[in-house]
Structure 1
Amino acid sequence: MTRKEQTRLQVLNGVLEHQVTVDEAAQVLGLSERHLWRILAAYRKEGAAALAHGNRGRRPANAIPLGLRDRVVALTQKRYQGINHTHLTELLAEREGVVLSRPTVRRILVRAGLTSPRHRRPPQHRCRRQRMPQEGMLLQLDGSHHLWLEDRGPWLTLLLAVDDATGTAPYALFQDQEDTRGYLSLLQGVIERRGVPMAVYTDGHAVFQSRRAGRDETNRGGATQWSRALGELGVTQILAHSPEAKGRVERANGTFQDRLVSELRLAGASTLAEANQVLGDFLPRFNQRFGVPAAQPESAYRPMDSELDLGSVLCIKELRRVAKDNTVQYHGRSLQLFPSMERTSYAGARVEVQERLDGRLLVRHREQILTPQEAPALAADLRAQVAEGPVVVARPDPDPTDWNPPQRVKTPVIPGPLAGDSIWYEDPARKQVHRDLVLAGMERARYQGKRIGRPRVSERPEFEQQFTVVVERIGRGGLSRRQAARELGIGYATLKRLLDSQEKSCTKPATSLSLKPDTGEDY
């Protein structure tokens, strides 16, 4: 009972015991005399329980059924695991027909011990930047390295473009890595769907900013392929010096990492093509959910110039000089140029090799586009391919416990590209086998307590007798000291040290000479 109900119980007991009148009790409780008579009648009939409110302990009419609560918890733990509460509320309404508010879903999951995987960071002081007034005035670009397919497929990179005015994503795609071709494909998708933007906002990635300015002639003074393409399109490039500077695309990446991963999981995507297909279906819903209207309805995207070939701009361009046989070298490939209506030979001319996004290789000479073909290989290259392709014979796996190394087989001689030349090929597999056997023998010797390496002089029992004979021959002049050192298998300095010690100890016979250990320092 509450304190108020306890006070009423005490006053009513006083009325029943004729200690106070009904009028006095009504004044004490702040009630009318008629209402006090009503409470007193209920108290006489039901006891102290009549003083409590009638709805106490009753389940509300608008309460969520217990079965629905259990269903939401079960779906969250099994099918929609790892999805934040806001996204889960939308998926329950779209896929399961369970229409609940986000606070209700959050309250159900928190009571079940299921917290949201997306936690809020502690607040920090930030300054807002005014959005661009028109759509297409500024695009923020970024790449997101994330385990998008989880354990179902390869590691992918999301390349994303976000409009600064509306917060929508005009285009996005998955690539194997963050490179120039990926960003050129991203810009091509934006231009084909919306138009040419006025400016792009990027970070300091090597794709956007050259780290070897002035070293590569094909980069034209340090410009990258990306900046060269933007210059031809008339798009301004702005480099950000921190991730917070382009926070709109960074926050969009966080949203994609949360929602798109769940969408890919629900769709069962496991390849790059399937991921891009799911991404194409996800972008319209993302723009509808998170897009905001621009301050000015007019679009700042400008249409592509009809006279300009977009494929010739968004590609990899490098300058080359044509050889005397009308071939152009490009990254290890030899491209053959054929005569045209303008020139019969392009030998010595400066041309531009274009590697298109679809993989084609074209050559541009002035305003003419040439379609080259793979040039036939030279004879020297064919001979080099034969010389560089030895046949490796499969061998059984060696037994590391075998102490006896295999017999070395003479390596066959492979004829080289020049007459009288030869190339000796050493099989790396056989070298690894021999190395494993040697290491196994060393481990076996250490385990048995044996010394690894050349034995000491004192450990050779026949050395004293050989040394005595050699000393006699040296004394007769029939053998030099260097020849004696070679016969004994020791160094010249070691032999000299032994002879000096023998001369100092004249009282001891040569056969009982105390020998110092041979450390092998003279070899």
Structure 2
Amino acid sequence: MKDRITLSTSEQRRLLVLNHLLSAAISITEAAGLLGISERQVRRLLAAYRADGAAALTHGNRGRHPGNAVDAAVVASVVALATTTYAGFNHHHLTEMLAEHEGLALSRSTVRRILVDAGVPSPRRRRPPRHRQRRDRYPREGMLLQVDASRHDWLEGRGPWLSLVGAIDDATGLVPWACFREQEDAHGYFQVLRHVVRHHGIPLALYSDRHSIFVVTKKTLSIDEQLAGGARPTQFGRLLGELGVQLILARSPQAKGRVERLWGTFQDRLGSELRLAGACTRADAEQVLAHYLPKHNRRFIVPAADTTPAWLPWPATLRLDEVFCFKYQRIVDNDNTVRLGERLIDIPAGRARLSFARARVEVHQRFDGTLRVYYRGTRLPRPPPRLGLTSRTGASPHRRSRSPASPQASLEAGSPTPLATLLLTQRRDTLAEPLAGQDPWTPTPPAGFTLRSRVDAHGLPLSSGEQHNRGRRSSTPSLSAQAPSPATRTFSDSGSNRNPPSDEGDTSQPPPRLVEAPSLTQRLEQLCVS
């Protein structure tokens, strides 16, 4: 009906005030104060109300069709397409598909309003905001440390990206230590916690995210882990267990907001310090960080509610290196060796056991690169130098020592001839070489042990067939104490030739030759014959 007028709540309030004004119950000044408008505006409203009645109080566009309204046919088309062809599309994706395939250029808000008015819900559910409550600081220093790492362009293009690993005390905001690493790794957290324990003490708890450094993230367990009742802890988790430190895992970055806000401060202040110092490498950044941390703590540290520290002292009988290292459980092989990656460790016989085959040991990998093996809490002694054989091809020449490394490498006294040097580099499959970082092995054969040459009369190396044929025609090598000829070589206890070849006599004697050691079977046969 045209005579019916609908007023909003504010318009009804204006009508009530104007009626009181017309009845002289209130003045214009009082009416302006009640409506929150000026007296001039009150006079305009009163004049319009006297002329047109209550209709003068409504908005002028009420009841009019807007000029920019979407056509009813377009609205019906959008609703139909959203429920049939493009069913399940979210509002943003639906807007793009309508413009690309249907020629309907509408905004996302318009499409959303059309679907909401039609009662078509969005396929994506909006999560309601979670209720978060600010947590109070822990009362004592050392009760809780928040640890985290920040991957950032700390050098601002002057060097590689680095990860800053650090910790902050929850009670005071103290940053006990931080270090730069190439990546966020367990080594960095080991360094931070080691420095904290050494200079402050053992904290009661650590607050971290759910990184695989702190907790095992795999969902399926192996058979051994199922029998043990759970997954084996990580190296850092094992360290916290040995120290008696409780690990608290955060479920969101906001939960450990103190350390997250710390990275914002560091990226601002420490980044400026690095730029001022011109740091371009990780070593430069470490120096700037060590100079910056004391200034940061003096500026941002706050007093704790309880001034009594909660750090636990480090036991004087325990060494840091025995705890702050990677530990692996291994079972010794039948040859009394254990393997850690590509490294093979020999276990010598000890007082506890003559053989450690099938024994369960613990291998400690320290951060200086050394390895330690423990059996039932007792450290096993270091093995003697272990020898290995080089490959037949691709071996690099080994620097010769003063005493021969093996019988095959022994030459005549004096400087070696080019031929001997050639043979030494070609026949390196029989040379025993020490492993890297161990003492060289230089055994010498017994005195009076004569070896036969592996070269021909002209000093050239024999082929494998010629060596085999000549070996069948020649007599068996013998043990003799007679003076050697120029074609032979006698080894002494010191590994040097006491009877060098003489220059007198036949000048057609062959040059010095590389000789070959007889096998153990040939030596036994000769002893039986003699």
In the superposition, the TM-score normalised over structure 1's length comes to 0.47
Compare the two structures and name the one with the higher helix fraction: 1
TM-score normalised according to structure 2 size: 0.47
